[in-house]
């Protein structure tokens, strides 16, 4: 049973990490980019390539995965977000980010191959550690660290406060001299770096697999919606709840009901508490 | 200036002649549509089969084509998507007016395209294993070259229960349509043999850890684990869970267990030991360590094309692709024309047409061409150039 809990928590924390990436992007742009899961996929694939293809040390592999994620985050803002937001208030970003996500997935499939490939061990450890294996604990630890780091970033740094200011009211922030375009690019680069990091940390769990992006995009969104949009603690709780629910659904009822239960969780939360467990209600004074 | 104009006129005339000559040559080709999922999930099989298809087309064209016509291969990448496969099948049959269609590669796509090709009356060489894909009445011009899924399952079941003498079977399949149907078929076949599986479970193909399922199989007293899935990630995780648990139970099942990609996903190379899967006589090394002559000849040709290195795909995929084009050549040459009705007549009266992958036989009521006698059980860890040693008897 401990293995079920730990394996559920591990994949749940990967979803939580993706939800945190959503939060960073959303804070400055009010966009939920479909490319979010694909950033994590790139972190896993490029991390594996740096280490097994180019035979680089895992520290350089990690730095490379973060750099690739940051680059793709910046490209997402440049190609799929900026022009759409400048020209329209409609949710056309859904289409533009979906198009970019599809192109990236196809490109990775052509280059990397469409079968999952191994992700190397990062820490010297035997394979008989069971629930204590690094493939479970790395994503769990990383998601927790990411949430703490983001809280510190938002509360203690100038850029973090600028993110918050844009999150509260982008027009007011601009009126007070904040370069909202630059801050938005910065937030996408940061979220890309975090996504790359998350994909790298979970690489042993997921393998380096080109088709992982859409699964992570969907489940990361469910974790975010359940925990509450904008809340980092909520993202952790939402991710953990989703991962554990999936694991126990599979344990008790088999894999046939796993996805149904995940989407069912989203429906229940949206019906009972549409703003999510820790989300704040948007009140518009009239 | 006058001289220049006359030169231009001459060139234009020459071009016109060349173009009309080329179009005449094109009119003399035989068009074969090839529905192949070269990208997208499960593309490994398609890429390998494509090597065989391309090689056969090249050889036939070099030797003068079929009935004097060069083959024009129209490859369409379906990316494993049934919707794309349907669009391409319609395009090939009604716009391109191909004389034959090979594929699609995946059964899920073929379920959607077979009725379309049947409506168009185009002879279709089926390479999907799902049992429902062929039917002499509904799809009279669809002839299956690959074995059926039931042949895989019954071969593996017979090995587990008959040769290994195991009676406590655990079935682990993925939640796809293929996995679900295969688990049900495996259970039914075991039931006929008087064996009730001790544990049956369906698992999401992307589940990241199978320790729970393997622990449950062990707790249920299983003495053999039989996975039914083509997802290499899932199979790799299953073998890793078994190895990490230190449980040396035999794993017997789907041919994908022997794919080279699995080897790369294993925590330790020895985790591939004690793993057996349904395979073929044509890609099994004999007691003398040699492959059947025809297979070896094709291996040598393909190796030459690959630059002389090791072949790291399941070689039966290549052999199957090669044979599909050869079957078309045989049918057209025997019929003496490309008339679909004549092709159908030849194919449904074919007995023991010798290919590389197997010897094919079809009849007016039977559209499955692969004989049971050509099935074999292989030991996964003996992978060499895409072929295997036989599983221990």
Specify whether B81 is located in the same domain as B93.
Answer: yes
Q: What is the ipTM of this complex?
A: 0.87
Contacts of B37 in chain A (CB under 8 A): none
CATH of the domain at B253: 3.40.50.2300
Cα separation, A232 vs A234, whole angstroms: 5
**Pick from B42, B208, B259: which is nearest to A206 by CB?**
B208
Which pLDDT does position B2 carry in this prediction? 46
Which pLDDT does position A179 carry in this prediction? 84
Contacts of A113 in chain B (CB under 8 A): 43-44
Give pLDDT tens digits for A182-211: 999 999 999 999 999 999 999 999 999 998
Specify whether B228 is located in the same domain as B282.
Answer: yes
Cα separation, A188 vs A193, whole angstroms: 9
Which pLDDT does position A286 carry in this prediction? 54
Specify whether B60 is located in the same domain as B92.
Answer: yes
Give pLDDT tens digits for B184-235: 999 999 999 899 999 999 998 888 999 999 999 999 999 999 999 888 899 9
Are the beta carbons of A116 and B204 separated by less than 8 Å? no
Cα separation, B171 vs B113, whole angstroms: 31
Cα dihedral A46, A230, A76, A37, rounded to 10, equals 40
Cα separation, A218 vs A4, whole angstroms: 22
Are the beta carbons of B265 and A254 separated by less than 8 Å? no
- Domain annotation covers residue B1: no
Which pLDDT does position B19 carry in this prediction? 47
Distances (CA, A) of A97 to A39, A106, B106: 12, 14, 29
- B230, B42 contact by CB (below 8 A): yes
- Domain annotation covers residue B9: no
Average pLDDT over residues A151-159: 91
Specify whether B66 is located in the same domain as B88.
Answer: yes
Size of interface A-B (CB pairs under 8 A): 85
Best of B209, B247, B266, B312 to disrupt the A interface (most A CBs within 10 Å) is B209
Give how far A7 is from chain B: nearest CA, Å: 7
Give how far B188 is from chain A: nearest CA, Å: 20
Phi, psi angles (nearest 5°) of residue B76: -125, 120
Are the beta carbons of B44 and A205 separated by less than 8 Å? no
Contacts of B201 in chain A (CB under 8 A): 254-255
Specify whether B28 is located in the same domain as B61.
Answer: yes
Interface contact B176, partner A, CB < 8 A: no
Cα separation, B352 vs B369, whole angstroms: 9
A130 or B391: which leads in pLDDT: B391
- Domain annotation covers residue B93: yes
Buried b (16+ CB within 10 A) or exposed e, B297-315: ebbebbeeeeeeeebbbbb
Ordered per-residue pLDDT tens for chain B, 393 residues = 444 555 655 565 454 544 444 444 445 899 999 999 888 766 888 989 999 999 999 999 999 999 999 999 999 999 888 899 999 999 999 999 999 999 899 888 899 999 999 999 999 999 998 888 999 999 999 999 999 999 999 999 999 999 999 999 999 999 887 888 899 999 999 999 899 999 999 998 888 999 999 999 999 999 999 999 888 899 999 999 999 999 999 999 999 999 988 999 999 999 999 999 999 999 999 999 999 999 999 999 999 887 778 888 899 999 999 999 999 999 999 999 999 999 999 999 999 999 999 999 999 999 999 999 999 999 999 999 999 999 998
Which pLDDT does position A89 carry in this prediction? 65
Are the beta carbons of A11 and B201 separated by less than 8 Å? no
Work out the pLDDT band at A223, boundaries 50, 70, 90: very high
Specify whether B126 is located in the same domain as B63.
Answer: yes
Are the beta carbons of B261 and A114 separated by less than 8 Å? no
Are the beta carbons of B264 and A114 separated by less than 8 Å? no
Interface contact B270, partner A, CB < 8 A: no
Are the beta carbons of A114 and B42 separated by less than 8 Å? yes
How many domains does chain B fold into? 2
Contacts of B232 in chain A (CB under 8 A): 115-116
Angle between helices A180-201 and A36-48 (to 10 degrees): 50
Give how far B78 is from chain A: nearest CA, Å: 13
Interface contact B220, partner A, CB < 8 A: no
Within chain A, residue ranges assigned H as helices are 2-29, 36-48, 58-75, 82-87, 93-112, 134-156, 158-168, 170-175, 180-201, 203-206, 212-227, 232-253, 258-272
**Pick from B174, B211, B233: which is nearest to A116 by CB?**
B233
Give pLDDT tens digits for A1-38: 888 999 999 999 999 999 999 999 998 888 899 999 99
- Domain annotation covers residue B215: yes
Contacts of A128 in chain B (CB under 8 A): 244, 246
Specify whether B215 is located in the same domain as B100.
Answer: no
Is the C-alpha dihedral spanning B149, B151, B154, B155 positive or negative? Answer: negative
- Domain annotation covers residue B291: no
Pull the structure tokens for residue A252.
């008790």
- A28, A166 contact by CB (below 8 A): yes
Which pLDDT does position B388 carry in this prediction? 96
**What is the pTM (predicted TM-score) of this model?**
0.86
Specify whether B251 is located in the same domain as B209.
Answer: yes
Are the beta carbons of A110 and B39 separated by less than 8 Å? yes
Find, in chain B, the residue whose alpha carbon is nearest to that of A114. Answer: B41
- A30, A84 contact by CB (below 8 A): no
Contacts of A127 in chain B (CB under 8 A): 240, 243-244, 267-268
Specify whether B116 is located in the same domain as B184.
Answer: no
Interface contact B312, partner A, CB < 8 A: no
Lookup result for tokens 């299953």: B238
Count of residues in chain B: 393
- The candidate with the shortest Cα–Cα distance to B72, out of B137, B22, B108, is B22
- Domain annotation covers residue B185: yes
- Domain annotation covers residue B109: yes
Specify whether B136 is located in the same domain as B164.
Answer: no
Specify whether B141 is located in the same domain as B159.
Answer: no
pLDDT surpasses 80 at A281? no
Contacts of B236 in chain A (CB under 8 A): 116, 207
Cβ neighbours for B267, distance < 8 A, ≥ 6 positions apart? A127, B240, B243, B244
Cα separation, A169 vs B198, whole angstroms: 61
**Pick from B44, B201, B265: which is nearest to A207 by CB?**
B265
Note down the domain range covering B84: 23-148+313-373
Average pLDDT over residues A138-142: 95
Cα dihedral A241, A246, A250, A256, rounded to 10, equals 140
Contacts of A116 in chain B (CB under 8 A): 232-233, 236, 261, 265
**Pick from A3, A127, A136: which is nearest to B267 by CB?**
A127
Find, in chain B, the residue whose alpha carbon is nearest to that of A111. Answer: B39
Contacts of B43 in chain A (CB under 8 A): 109, 113-115
pLDDT surpasses 60 at A284? no
- Domain annotation covers residue B105: yes
Give pLDDT tens digits for A160-179: 888 888 888 888 888 888 88
Specify whether B195 is located in the same domain as B249.
Answer: yes
């Amino acid at each position: 049973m401990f293995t079920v809990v730990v394996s559920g928590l591990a994949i749940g924390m990967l979803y939580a990490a993706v939800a945190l990436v959503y939060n960073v992007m959303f804070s400055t742009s009010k966009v939920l980019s479909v490319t979010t899961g694909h950033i994590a996929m790139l972190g896993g694939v490029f991390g594996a390539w740096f280490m097994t293809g180019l035979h680089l040390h895992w520290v350089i592999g990690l730095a490379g995965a973060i750099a690739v994620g940051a680059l793709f985050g910046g490209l997402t803002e440049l190609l799929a977000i900026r022009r759409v937001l400048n020209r329209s208030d409609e949710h056309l970003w859904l289409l533009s980010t979906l198009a970019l996500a599809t192109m990236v997935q196809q490109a990775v499939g052509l280059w990397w191959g469409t079968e999952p490939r191994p992700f190397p061990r990062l820490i010297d450890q035997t394979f008989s550690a069971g629930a204590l294996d690094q493939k479970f604990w790395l994503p769990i630890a990383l998601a927790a660290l990411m949430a703490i780091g983001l809280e510190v970033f938002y509360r203690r740094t100038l850029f973090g406060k600028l993110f918050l200011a844009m999150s509260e009211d982008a027009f007011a922030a601009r009126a007070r001299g904040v370069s909202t375009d630059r801050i938005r690019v910065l937030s996408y680069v940061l979220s890309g770096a975090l996504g790359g990091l998350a994909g790298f940390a979970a690489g042993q769990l997921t393998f380096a697999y080109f088709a992982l992006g859409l699964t992570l995009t969907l489940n990361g969104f469910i974790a975010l919606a359940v925990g509450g949009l904008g809340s980092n603690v909520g993202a952790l709780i939402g991710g953990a709840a989703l991962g554990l629910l999936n694991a126990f659904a599979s344990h008790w009822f088999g894999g046939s009901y796993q996805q149904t239960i995940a989407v069912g969780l989203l429906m229940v939360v949206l019906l009972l508490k549409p703003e999510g467990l820790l989300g704040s209600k948007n009140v518009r004074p009239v | 200036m006058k001289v220049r104009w006359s030169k231009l006129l001459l060139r234009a005339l020459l071009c016109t002649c060349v173009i009309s000559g080329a179009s005449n040559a094109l009119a003399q080709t035989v068009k074969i549509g090839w529905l192949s999922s070269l990208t997208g999930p499960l593309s490994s099989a398609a890429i390998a089969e494509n090597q065989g298809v391309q090689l056969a087309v090249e050889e036939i064209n070099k030797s003068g084509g079929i009935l004097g016509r060069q083959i024009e291969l129209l490859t369409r990448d379906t990316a494993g998507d049934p919707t794309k496969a349907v669009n391409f099948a319609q395009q090939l049959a009604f716009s391109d007016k191909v004389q034959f269609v090979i594929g699609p590669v995946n059964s899920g796509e073929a379920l959607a395209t077979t009725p379309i090709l049947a409506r168009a009356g185009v002879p279709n060489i089926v390479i999907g294993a799902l049992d429902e894909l062929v039917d002499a009445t509904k799809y009279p011009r669809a002839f299956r070259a690959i074995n059926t899924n039931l042949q895989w399952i019954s071969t593996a079941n017979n090995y587990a229960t008959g040769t290994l003498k195991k009676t406590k079977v655990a079935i682990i399949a993925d939640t796809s349509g293929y996995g679900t149907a295969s688990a049900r078929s495996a259970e039914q076949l075991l039931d006929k043999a008087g064996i009730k599986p001790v544990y049956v479970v369906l698992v999401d193909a992307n589940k990241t850890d199978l320790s729970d399922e393997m622990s449950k199989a062990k707790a249920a007293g299983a003495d053999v684990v039989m996975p039914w899935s083509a997802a290499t990630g899932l199979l790799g995780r299953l073998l890793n869970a078994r190895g990490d648990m230190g449980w040396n139970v035999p794993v017997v099942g789907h041919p994908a267990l022997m794919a080279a990609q699995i080897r790369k996903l294993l925590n330790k190379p020895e985790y591939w030991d004690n793993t057996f899967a349904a395979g073929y006589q044509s890609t099994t090394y004999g007691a003398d360590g040699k492959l059947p002559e025809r297979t070896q000849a094709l291996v040598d040709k393909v190796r030459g094309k690959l630059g002389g290195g090791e072949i790291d795909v399941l070689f039966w995929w290549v052999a199957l692709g090669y044979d599909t084009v050869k079957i078309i050549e045989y049918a057209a040459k025997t019929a003496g024309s490309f008339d679909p009705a004549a092709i159908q007549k030849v194919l449904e009266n074919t007995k023991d047409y010798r290919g590389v992958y197997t010897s094919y036989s079809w009849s007016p009521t039977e559209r499955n061409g692969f004989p049971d006698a050509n099935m074999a059980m292989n030991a996964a860890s003996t992978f060499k150039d895409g072929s295997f040693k036989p599983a221990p008897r």
